Structure 1
Amino acid sequence: MTGPKTSLGRALLAAAALAAMPAGASAQPLTVVELFTSQGCSSCPPANANLIKVKDQPGVLALSFNVTYWDYLGWKDIFGREEFTQRQVNYEPSLGRSGPFTPQVVVNGAADAVGARPGEIEQLIAGSGQTQGPSLSLDGGRISVGAGTAPTGGADIWLVRYRQGVVDVPVARGENSGRTLPHANVVHALQKLGRWNGAATTLPLPADGDGLSTAVLLQSPGGGPILAAATN
């Protein structure tokens, strides 16, 4: 029989071990907030600022995807990538939109708003909740997806590399000429790693040599809902 002091000691050790576990090893459900923005869009700075307010909120994964379709206005977005623009385009039919626009905030791949008004992103987060899919974790150089019910045709496994924190970008031309624009958690790379069919799955996590943070999204194909997300 274990005495009360021994039991307490073991409980404290277990709690300490849990607290020391890397964040990426946990399977805590997240709310994924994607801001589609552009340095060439004069309406985007308020949404950028609102994303900064929620980026450190517990249980929230906030990401800035910079798009390219405003580059013709005189300023080429330094973070803009065509694959980010395509990601936004893929969302629009399921969200009931006729085409992409900026700024646009998409939460869990299933609900959207402009995101520029005070408190608008917070309201969208509160109304969307956290992802409800299988367990997903990053640990020991591996991506682990638990068993569950997959969408018809499976779900895509996306790798996202982003710069955690806030970066300020001086804009010299275009609609925001002369302004310095802050950006939160800027995405630098997006890559589809594979497909999940409902069975427990383990994939190698590609190494990153640029000091970027990593997130993995499990998502219904074609711009559908995000089922699960994890970050390191």
Structure 2
Amino acid sequence: MKTAALAALLFLITPAAALAAKPPVVVEFYTAQGCAACVEANGLVNSLAERPGVVALTFPVDYWDYLGWADTFAKPEFAERQKAYLAPLALREPYTPQLVIHGMSQASAVEAGKVEDLLNEAARTRGPAPDIQFIGPRRVDVGSGPAPRGGGEVWMVRYDPQPREVVVRRGENRGQTLEQRNVVREIVRLGVWRGRPTAYTLPEAKEDGLQTLILVQAPEGGRILGAKPRETLLARPGPN
């Protein structure tokens, strides 16, 4: 009887326990190597990358390439992700250098005081997260929890945790050396999450040494509901 009662109690508390831990605050930095104002912003983001409880991601965008320097890390899908935040955050157009904090708020990345206030607010108000577990190299499980109407989205982000220096040779930042941290190299939508335990397949890594982060997010640029990084993953060996 005692064993049965204990099992029943564990069954009741497990879902709550799975939702007890809060995720790290995710900061998305939209920037461009050809954007003059982004040089100062890099310093702030580099410091955030070192802060416990914060995951800072650099998303280089390509819409400033016409100024004379093609960003060496930019991808069109990064600019599309930034555009998805326009309506939820009541913005007319995308800009750089921009920080989006946990999908909840945004600020210019040169407004250090405002950014600090928004980080504190996100840390204080973000809700319990669904449990996220990596199962081997190619699977991730997302547990149960309250899902947005229509379901949430599960995203895989792979980024380079090593600082990268880029010498800009043309455009507004000609002659400057930029140090960029946590540059995103790949983002993939894994599927829909409807509040029930669900398993997702991870694509193979295309580069060595990248950090993998799983995001559970409300759709169409909504708030981030959960986030979890994993250990670095080696790319599949190429042919000899």
**Band the TM-score falls in, shorter-chain normalisation:** 0.7 to 0.9
CA distance in 2, matches of 1:32, 1:139: 23
Secondary structure of 2:225 counterpart:
strand
Query: Which structure 2 residues correspond to residues 167-178 of structure 1 after superposition, within 5 A?
Result: 167-178=164-175
Deviations 1:133-175 (A, max 9, x none): 3122324232111101111111111111100031110000011
User: What secondary structure sits across from 2:163 in the alignment?
Assistant: strand
Residue 187, structure 1, aligned to residue 191, structure 2: no
What's the counterpart of residue 136 of structure 1? 132
Q: Compare relative contact order (CA 8 Å, sep 6+) and give the higher one, 1 or 2.
A: 1
Query: In the alignment, which residue of structure 2 is the partner of 1:71?
Result: 65
Kindly provide the amino acid, as one letter, of the partner of residue 207 in structure 2.
Answer: D
1:149 corresponds in structure 2 to 146
Residues in 2 aligned to 1:124 and 1:52: alpha-carbon distance in whole angstroms? 17
Query: How big is the shift at 1:45?
Result: 1.1
1:210 Cα deviation from its structure 2 partner: 1.3
Deviation at 1:131, TM superposition (A): 5.5
Match in the other structure for 1:54: 48
What is the CA-CA distance between 1:123 and the residue it aligns to?
Answer: 2.9
- Calculate the TM-score normalised by the size of structure 2: 0.82
What are the superposed Cα offsets for residues 186-221 of structure 1, whole Å, 9 maximum, x if unpaired?
001111111101101122333314121111111111
In the TM superposition, what is the alpha-carbon distance from 1:117 to its structure 2 partner?
3.3
Cα distance change, pair 131–159 in 1 and its aligned pair in 2 (3 A) = farther
Match status 1:197 vs 2:197? no
Q: How many residues align?
A: 206
**Aligned amino acid, residue 157 of structure 2:** V
Are the structure 2 counterparts of residues 123 and 165 from structure 1 closer, same or farther at C-alpha, using a change threshold of 3 Å?
farther
Which residue does the alignment assign to 1:23?
A: none
The aligned counterpart of 2:229 is 231
| One-letter code aligned to 1:170 | V
Paired residue secondary structure (2:23) = coil
Gaps of 5+ in 1: 1-26
Name stretches of at least 5 consecutive residues in structure 2 with no aligned partner. Answer: 1-20, 231-240
CA drift at 1:57:
1.2
1:214 corresponds in structure 2 to 212
Residue 66 of structure 1 contacts residue 80 of structure 1 at CA under 8 Å; is this kept in 2? yes
What is the one-letter code of the residue matched to 2:200? L
What residue number does 1:15 align with? Answer: none
Question: 1: distance between equivalents of 2:26 and 2:42?
Answer: 16
